[in-house]
Amino acid sequence: MQFVDEVKIYAKAGDGGRGCVSFRREKYVPMGGPDGGDGGDGGDVLIEADENLGTLLDLRYQQHYKAQSGVPGRGKNMHGRNGESLLIRVPPGTLVRDAETGEELVDVRETNKRITLLRGGRGGRGNARFATSTNRAPRHAQPGIPGEERWFRLELKLLADVGLVGLPNAGKSTLISSVSAARPKIADYPFTTLVPNLGVVRYGSYRTFVMADIPGLIEGASEGQGLGARFLRHVERTDLFLHLVDLSGIQEGDPRTNFEIINRELTRHNPEMAQKPQIVVLTKTDITEVREKIPEMRAHFEKLGFRVMALSAVTGDGIFEMVETLGRELERLRGSRNPEDVVGEP
């Protein structure tokens, strides 16, 4: 499926139905009086997060959305039916902005919670509403009020607990596939991952957290190089970064320099990302040359204040310890929150 994380749509709430001008016409009732009913209210435009959706693809092909208008009133004091509201379903983590000003309007995170984007117009009052002792036969009614309308820009920012960052071929896709049911494309050349991948990781006693594999981080990613400019937004909401460092030599440059490059791009994209905790993971320990470099690299990153782990996603060495460490660290970071706020907490 094509991954779409940004769309522009037009939405309009329903117009209110017009009021009715009508007079009673009954045998033996010479002065029947006004009996025009009110028009119905227009439907609202609502938005809701659907956990079964992972992309904005459906909204790419249908860009115009309109709620039902209210039905006009009729004679015999019959009021028009209200228009049905229109519900737009989006993936959790969708940010709704005004398309013209860029103003942030709604952050759709919670599932099963409907948010009103646009209000429908009120129905007009029929002439029966205007009858008074001095005006017993009013011949006017109100038109319905138009519903609100607007162009929106929707941006998807994935909701994940742990974000995997690192240069291409650092082993991110292999790692997420080894600890979750995610099945990203894996190959021995750069940029095999073209879309973000989410995986649910189990740890402890029936607890889980969500891990995100973000593609395309290279030097200059924050300025549009590679795929990073498009997908960096998806790690803004993670609580913790797992920074994968490849010691196998498949990547050009010194691993310590490559580590600094990725962190610099994260900071340039959003300075707040530099404040997020990181755990450094030295990957591909199934290779002899990598194991020989681990002591030196561990000492280097620990001197900088980072927790360092080493593992092989191919053989599974160090995977269990990493998952348990991530689970405990996430619980520590969320210690001030309510238990319900912890992802996967029973």
Give me the pLDDT at residue 182, please.
60
Q: Which CATH superfamily is domain 1-156 in?
A: GTP1/OBG domain (2.70.210.12)
Q: Which of 65, 69, 17, 18 is nearest to 43 (CA)?
A: 69
Burial category of 153 from C-beta neighbours within 10 Å (exposed 0-12, middle 13-18, buried 19 and up): middle
Give me the pLDDT at residue 226, please.
46
Please state which CATH number belongs to domain 162-341. 3.40.50.300
Give me the pLDDT at residue 23, please.
92
The DSSP secondary structure of 128-176, one letter per residue, reads GGG--SS-SS----PPPPPPPEEEEEEEE----SEEEE-STTSSHHHHH
Q: Could you report how far apart the first and last alpha carbons of the chain are, in Å?
A: 31
Output the tens digit of pLDDT for each of the chain's 346 residues: 345 678 999 999 999 999 999 998 887 777 788 999 999 999 999 999 998 887 888 888 889 999 999 999 999 999 999 999 999 999 888 999 999 999 999 999 888 899 999 999 999 999 999 999 889 889 999 999 999 999 999 988 877 889 888 887 777 888 888 888 666 544 443 444 446 777 888 887 778 888 888 775 655 544 544 455 566 777 788 889 999 998 887 777 788 998 998 888 888 888 888 888 999 999 999 999 999 999 999 999 999 999 999 999 889 999 999 999 999 999 888 774 444 443 333 3
Using alpha carbons, list the distances in angstroms from residue 78 to 20, 34, 125. Answer: 9, 12, 11
pTM of model > 0.75: no
Q: What is the domain partition of the chain in residue ranges?
A: 1-156, 162-341
